[in-house]
Structure 1
Amino acid sequence: MKPRLFWTMLLAFTLVIVLSVCGMLGFVALAVSGQWQPAAVRETFREFQQTYALSLGDYYVANGESWVGVEQRFETLPAVGPGNFFDYALADENGQIIASTDTKYPAGTVLSEKDLKGGIVVRARNRQVGTLLFDNGPRGMMQSPPAAPTPPTAPARGPRAVFWPILRSFLIAAGVLVTGLLLMALFFVQRISRPLRTLTVAAQQLATGALDVQVKPAPIREVNELTQAFNSMARSLASADRQRRQMTADIAHELRTPLTIIKGRLEGMQDGVYEAKPEELERLLGETALLERLIEDLRLLALAENGQLPLYREPIDPRELLDNAHNAFARQAAEQHVALAVDAPDDLPALDADPQRLAQVLANLVANALRYTPEGGSITLGAHTAGQEGADVVVLEVRDTGAGIPADDLPHVFDRFYRADRSRARSSGGTGLGLAIARQIVLSHGGTIQASSTEGQGTTMTITLPLEGSAALVV
């Protein structure tokens, strides 16, 4: 079983804190025990011992060049003596120990020159009168020999009495420090792990189908960015699910309508209500054609949305594209008494595109314009070049003077099965997929398409396409 992030981070913080405090205490213990001392500490001890050697020389002179009573000077030093922090021994000019707190050098012992070599020379009147011997720094408490009995008037302070208050203070400080740092670590670990736990729960809910789940912002920037990305993903999934449900309902409705008509007509013929006349067969054939067109449009839209729509690119003259669209709808426009014209220069640069797909887009836009432009209106097919974000583009426009599109409907004109005029029948208005297909075809060419309209004045459909060799436009 894998550990939780909370306990992993808390353990990591705890180890860092404990190791830091233990390291600090270890250095203090080494310094106190004499096993390790900083250079500054050693130098301080050395200066103290040299100064004390000078004071012993002064004592020797002041005492009539005699060491009598020098033992009392050692007794006045703090933490000096058997079982305490420091040990000193004083030898006279002959190397005989005359005063000592070190059990290794009892009084009366005669030392060799080798033993005296490590001491500090005590001088008086420019001659050596003795040698001061000392341990190389303070000893540890537990390694000290037991304290020797001392007179009641000057009781010796044992190692515990000297150093236990110091160690106790260090331990108390360490405990307070560890407690405070652990509380801080717990606070920060919770600030990190709690939003992640919330995010995990939300992800589990999302996996069960609760697409409306959202996570509150987190106090840490990186985790907050993660929650924002999750919320955006959840909203996208919810939107895609709504679109899928709506598309399924729309497809079912679009398929059901012609199928109902076909079924009703065939049952009527079977019951003798309708005769199998050419007119009835023509109606049935028209409904099957609507079904075939709907299915083909859905297939084409699915390919385009998945980036699998095959494009056969070649250099295309934009003016020729508009002329072909004009020629294809000129008769229908004349029958509706709508003026159809082309407004584009002849020297436009070539496009790198699939001519059949772009002709399909223009045919859809012109058909929609004819459907909504009243008698006496006009439709203009225009083209010109422009510069957009450093890239040269060709702009194709289909402008009409029709009824226009309401502002509330304008953002949805490229959605599947959407129509601003909801009273229009499919038999007169197609499958409702034309503009959605047109948008995907334009996007697959690296271009953009948008609609602008003023209700009661007309609509303009604008297609922006990169020139041959230009980079795709940012949608």
Structure 2
Amino acid sequence: MTAVAALVFVIPLAVQVREDARERALTEAGRRSAIVAGALAAQADEAGVRRAIEAAGSGPLTDTPVVLGLSNESATGRASDADLERTVGAGRPIVVDSDGGALRLEPVIVGENTAVIEVFVPDHALNDGVPAIWWTLALIALGLVAASVFVVDRLAAKTVGSARSLVRAAMAVGDGDLGVRIQPTGPRELAEAGYAFNRMADRLVTSRTNEREMVADLSHRLRTPLTVLRLDAEALDPDDTSVGDFSAAELDRRRTIRRIRQAIVTLEGEVDALITTTRRAVADRGAPPPEDGGCDASEVVRERMTFWSALAGDQNRPYRVIGAQTRIPVQVPRSELAAALDAVLGNVFRYTAQGTAFEIGVSRRDGWIAIRVDDAGTGIADPERALQRGASDRGSTGLGLDIAKRATLATGGSVSIARSSLGGASVVMLFGDAEAKPKQASRFGLVGRLAGEPGRPRWPRPRDHSE
């Protein structure tokens, strides 16, 4: 394409250069002819005409002018009789081709006769400087073609390289390597395709991470009913059948109790293995986007305490619920909030001794909604480590508090751990209030530590379900 463009540019220019050189030579011939024509028109004598011819002279472009058709002129010209007759008949200067060049013939009326002034222009004058210019134009055209070939080759190599990088990255993603990324280069379209590929890979990583996190979290939710089953199983009679004399019915009952306990242990092990395996496969620890919809925090608290109150009664755990009588909407799906609350309460039942008291508080203030769970246990020695996903110093999966943290982060909140007024741990889940602009968060009394206000009793009767 570049060669065609060069030819389209060079060929007309070369023709024009040749025409300009010919026109320049003929113009010089016309100038010399005009000198002699002036002498003839003035009816100069023979000596005057000769002086005019000598004044016109000869040069590199044309020969000396020759006057034809006068009786006093003996010079012989190159023009034929037909050319002379045509010139006289035309009454104006004409140019005719001749051997070795061109003739410029100009008619001049002298008295009753017509003379013709002939000026011969040789071929070298007609093409003066043309070959050098043509060679220059040819070199320029070749240079343009070579430069364009080089530029096109570099651009094509860059484009092909970008396309190959995109293909290799796509093949790598297809083989399961979701960490591969490319540097978008090349033409705009390929660069946009590279950016789109990187965004797609990021979305794939996020999607796979969210799926695995969801599997881990759903698996962890099984821990709540398993904890209840294990605690109930521990409350059953002993299952030892090696000491003492037992009836067949008693032996069967104790063996059944043993099988129940073994099945619970096995199930807990399988759930822990599923959580651990899923957590190790997660490449990115980013939280998944929150689901749409919300729920009433007070209603969720009351509902979950209906479940946990039975187990608290079996273990003689005094408890109370504060602030769950009024509606407190929170922009967290009901299932997520219930899972977060179960995870925190499950830790209370799992890691504190039977008979240990606990308290749940719900409050709404300054653009924040807080759910507080306090216990009278031994507390948490390293709160920062406890809030790290997968970290636990008690042999668990370490996902309980992380489930709560993920639920709060979806609304711009957080989870904090401190020493409670009961002497044990105090876990506060802070959610952003969608109906008010949150202020600077703090542990205040924002969580409604009504139990710490002067004049209020620390504990009601051990099992007070009215609160």
Q: TM-score, normalised by structure 2?
A: 0.52
Find 2:369's aligned residue among 395, 401, 416. 395
Q: Letter of the aligned partner of 2:135 in structure 1?
A: R
Verify the 8 A CA contact 2:361 2:373 in the aligned structure 1: yes
Distance 1:215 1:322 in 2: 45
Instruction: Map 1:333-412; keep pairs closer than 5 Å.
Output: 335=315, 340-343=320-323, 350=329, 358-372=337-351, 379-384=359-364, 395-400=369-374, 402-403=379-380, 407-408=384-385, 410-412=387-389
| Alpha-carbon displacement from aligned partner over 1:169-190 (angstroms, at most 9, x marks no partner) | 1111221232233223323332
Distance 1:455 1:70 in 2: 126
Deviation, 1:436, is 7.4
Distance 1:233 1:225 in 2: 12
> Structure 1 residues 405, 220: closer, same or farther in 2, change over 3 A?
farther
| Alpha-carbon displacement from aligned partner over 1:441-467 (angstroms, at most 9, x marks no partner) | 889xx7567433469984645353675
Distance 2:183 2:54 in 1: 77
Question: What does residue 236 of structure 2 align with?
Answer: none
| Alpha-carbon displacement from aligned partner over 1:5-35 (angstroms, at most 9, x marks no partner) | xxxxxxxxxx3x324322321341353465x
| Alpha-carbon displacement from aligned partner over 1:307-360 (angstroms, at most 9, x marks no partner) | 9x9x9x7874x334434445654575685767644257x766645776576445
Question: What does residue 124 of structure 1 align with?
Answer: none
- Give 3-state SS (helix, strand or coil) of 1:395's partner: strand
Verify the 8 A CA contact 2:408 2:414 in the aligned structure 1: no
* 1:157 is the counterpart of 2:121: no
Instruction: Map 1:156-235; keep pairs closer than 5 Å.
Output: 156-157=123-124, 162-209=129-176, 211=177, 214=180, 217=183
Distance 1:226 1:104 in 2: 80
Deviation, 1:367, is 2.5
Q: Letter of the aligned partner of 1:366 in structure 2?
A: L
Q: Letter of the aligned partner of 1:196 in structure 2?
A: A
> Structure 1 residues 347, 102: closer, same or farther in 2, change over 3 A?
farther
Verify the 8 A CA contact 2:182 2:194 in the aligned structure 1: yes
Verify the 8 A CA contact 1:409 1:420 in the aligned structure 2: yes
Instruction: Map 1:30-179; keep pairs closer than 5 Å.
Output: 30-32=15-17, 59-61=36-38, 64-65=42-43, 73=56, 76=59, 78=61, 106-112=83-89, 115=90, 131-133=92-94, 147-148=100-101, 156-157=123-124, 162-179=129-146
* 1:284 is the counterpart of 2:262: no
Q: Letter of the aligned partner of 1:182 in structure 2?
A: V
* 1:420 is the counterpart of 2:392: yes
Show structure 1 runs of 5+ residues with no match: 1-14, 35-40, 82-87, 93-97, 117-130, 136-143, 259-267, 388-393, 413-417, 425-430, 471-475
Distance 1:340 1:25 in 2: 98
Verify the 8 A CA contact 1:315 1:352 in the aligned structure 2: yes
Distance 1:226 1:395 in 2: 44
> Structure 1 residues 349, 146: closer, same or farther in 2, change over 3 A?
farther
Distance 1:231 1:183 in 2: 31
- Between stretches 64-73 and 199-208, larger displacement belongs to 64-73
| Alpha-carbon displacement from aligned partner over 1:59-92 (angstroms, at most 9, x marks no partner) | 54456546776699596474x79xxxxxx99999
Question: What does residue 415 of structure 2 align with?
Answer: 451
Distance 1:356 1:235 in 2: 27
- Give 3-state SS (helix, strand or coil) of 2:86's partner: coil
Deviation, 1:284, is 3.1
> Structure 1 residues 449, 226: closer, same or farther in 2, change over 3 A?
farther
Verify the 8 A CA contact 2:172 2:180 in the aligned structure 1: no
Q: TM-score, normalised by structure 1?
A: 0.51
| Alpha-carbon displacement from aligned partner over 1:220-243 (angstroms, at most 9, x marks no partner) | 596677667656766886895999
Deviation, 1:384, is 1.9
> Structure 1 residues 380, 172: closer, same or farther in 2, change over 3 A?
same
Deviation, 1:200, is 2.1
Verify the 8 A CA contact 2:181 2:198 in the aligned structure 1: yes
Distance 1:358 1:241 in 2: 21
Q: Letter of the aligned partner of 2:301 in structure 1?
A: L
Verify the 8 A CA contact 2:295 2:330 in the aligned structure 1: yes
Report the structure number with the largest CA radius of gyration: 2
Instruction: Map 1:231-310; keep pairs closer than 5 Å.
Output: 240=208, 277-285=252-260
Distance 2:17 2:360 in 1: 98
Distance 1:185 1:359 in 2: 64
Distance 2:301 2:195 in 1: 46
Question: What does residue 29 of structure 1 align with?
Answer: 14
Verify the 8 A CA contact 1:406 1:420 in the aligned structure 2: no
Verify the 8 A CA contact 2:101 2:122 in the aligned structure 1: no
- Give 3-state SS (helix, strand or coil) of 1:423's partner: coil
Q: Letter of the aligned partner of 2:347 in structure 1?
A: N
> Structure 1 residues 90, 288: closer, same or farther in 2, change over 3 A?
farther
